[in-house]
Structure 1
Amino acid sequence: MSRDRDHASERTIELRHLRCFLAIAEEGGVTRAAARLHLTQPAVSRTLAALEAALGVRLVDRSTHHLALTPEGRAFREKAAVAVTAFEDALAAARTVRRPLRLGHAWSAAGDFTTPLLRRWRQTHPDVPLELLRIDDRTAGLTRGAVDVALLRGPVDAPGLVTELLHRETRVAALPSDSPLARHTALTLADLRDQVIALNTVSGTTSLDLWPTGARPTVTLPVANTDDWLAAIAADQAVGVTSTATVRMHPHPGVAYVPLTDAPPLPVRLARREGPGHPSAPALIALAHEVAGES
């Protein structure tokens, strides 16, 4: 009988299993996850193994040189993150001091509205700290529970999200500062057709579909984040297309920004997950609309 009880306890999934798995997924390895959780590496490995045994699936591929999540692991990561966030929200609702409200973005935050929004929030909600987090993925960490609200640009097609339009930004060309094109006061998309186009394939919104058929560039340079995108342009390896928010949030001595007259504006949306979330999320969304509407 005791053996059956021990076996049943090994199959019980607890919050610590989810936290451990999420730490491994976010840190990209057991060693860093152990340091983050203040546990030993063997303890983290055992916890992961117990979670996989309870679920009956392999979550982490251990056959590769670098730790990688299996397809089942990637799917479970989103569910685990939502579960942990829901647990934290339940506790926060019962506490005098709430946990920080996390606002995610992949790049450029809210552009010109960023500083006014952060300042106004601190003035009107001093009891709820607001954390601005840059996370390089298409939903800025929202689908995996890393943030409570996200500022997202371009199309948003991830399931389980509720979005609303905040405003629209005009687009600009990003060019090496010594490029002949940088001397123009305005450009068209066709002016860039013979250039190498830097494309942020992780969190960016520009694709070759932005250009009219028959006038599309043929060579691209994939990058993984805004920093690499800026570095490639400054080094005269490529040019890029972005929004006016980048001009304000990412000035660079080696990059010049020139307005594009025929590129469609870029929508900026506020997004949150469906269902219960951080209790202060609605207030942040309302304040963002208020700040944007004052411009």
Structure 2
Amino acid sequence: MKNLIKIAAAASGLIFAGLVGASAETLQIGTEGAYAPFNYVAENGDIRGFDVEIGNAICAEMGVDCEWSVHDWGGIIPALNANKFDFMVASMAITEKRMEKVLFSDPYYYNAMRFLAVKDLELEEATPQALKGLVVGTQQGAVAVSVLEAYFPDSELKLYPKMNQALMDIESGRLDLALFSQFTAGKWLPESDGCCEFVGQSFLMDGTLGAGIAFRKQDEELRDRVNTALHTIMENGTYEEIRARYFDFDIMSKPPYASELFEM
């Protein structure tokens, strides 16, 4: 009889453990999956990158399971607000316009922009006057669009659904310049055919408060939990370990704003 009781108790323990495991919180994270080295889909289908490692570290600190999904950049905020996922880790710049639609965490890095130019142009600077009449490409929905519209009205703006499409066009000579994250463009340059080079200084769009994690407006509690975990991984060295795997320079330093460089 004692043996039967022990077996029953053990079985009950296993069932209880299973119930606890089954009740563990699972959160869904959305990203673009086309913005290396921050977020991209590997050949085997895994979602990888700096954003993904930061998101996973936050989930580990929170003690929750997290599942990732990819979404087109142009519709990623509507997808968040349509409950396709719980929060977004996708290198999204924190802007006043976007804050009307979503909540943001504190910044987890500053994603400076910089111009890529075809070498044959032999540009020495990237001012509105120097780029007059040239075709400049960037990704639709990116903060670079606002910069180009505000400060480069005499350049021809060409928009692309995905960043790599613009990079293909500048490499093939169908674009004169492209404006993107200097981190992403810097990763692409060594892999290109040597067509292009950086011109001008790196900068932030006016009013940009860094790159943040985005949430639905009503999810303040979740935003606060993620913020707490983000600050913890920054303080305990986890963030720095991840940063060092992707960048050999400080990504929390704030560059100048566009208005400081391109005042008309």
Question: By the TM > 0.5 criterion, same fold?
Answer: yes
Give the equivalent residue in structure 2 for 1:240.
Answer: 178
Note the residue ranges of structure 1 that are not aligned, 5 or more in a row.
1-92
Q: How does 1:132-211 map to 2 (within 5 A)?
A: 133-137=70-74, 139-140=76-77, 141-150=79-88, 151=90, 152-153=92-93, 155=95, 157-158=97-98, 159-166=100-107, 167-176=109-118, 178-181=119-122, 187-201=126-140, 203-207=141-145, 209-210=147-148
Shift in Å, 1:273: 0.5
Q: Name the CA shift for 1:95/1:128 in 2 (closer, same or farther; >3 Å).
A: same
- Counterpart Cα distance in 1 of 2:37 and 2:114: 16
Query: TM-score of the superposition, structure 2-length normalised?
Result: 0.56
Provide the aligned C-alpha RMSD in A: 4.0
Conserved 8 A contact 2:111-2:182:
yes
- Pick from 16, 20, 23 the counterpart of residue 96 of structure 1: 23
Q: Comparing both chains, which one has the higher relative contact order based on Cα–Cα distances under 8 Å and sequence gaps of 6 or more? A: 2
Q: Which structure 2 residue ranges, 5 or more long, are not aligned?
A: 1-19, 39-48, 241-249, 251-264
| TM-aligned CA distance change 1:208 to 1:284, over 3 Å | closer
Structure 2 distance, partners of 1:95, 1:126, is 14
One-letter amino acid of the structure 2 residue matched with residue 179 of structure 1: D
Question: Which structure: greater strand fraction?
Answer: 2
Give the partner amino acid of 1:243. Answer: S
TM-score (norm 1): 0.51
| Structure 2 counterpart of 1:145, one-letter code | N
Distance 1:130 1:97 in 2: 13
Residues 164 and 270 in structure 1, CA contact (< 8 A), matched pair in contact too:
yes
Summarize the alignment of residues 202-281 of structure 1 with structure 2, pairs less than 5 Å apart: 203-207=141-145, 209-210=147-148, 216-238=153-175, 239-247=177-185, 250=188, 252-254=191-193, 256-258=196-198, 260-261=200-201, 263-265=203-205, 267-276=210-219
The change in CA–CA distance for 1:129 and 1:289 in structure 2 (over 3 A counts) is same
Q: CA deviation at 1:242?
A: 1.4
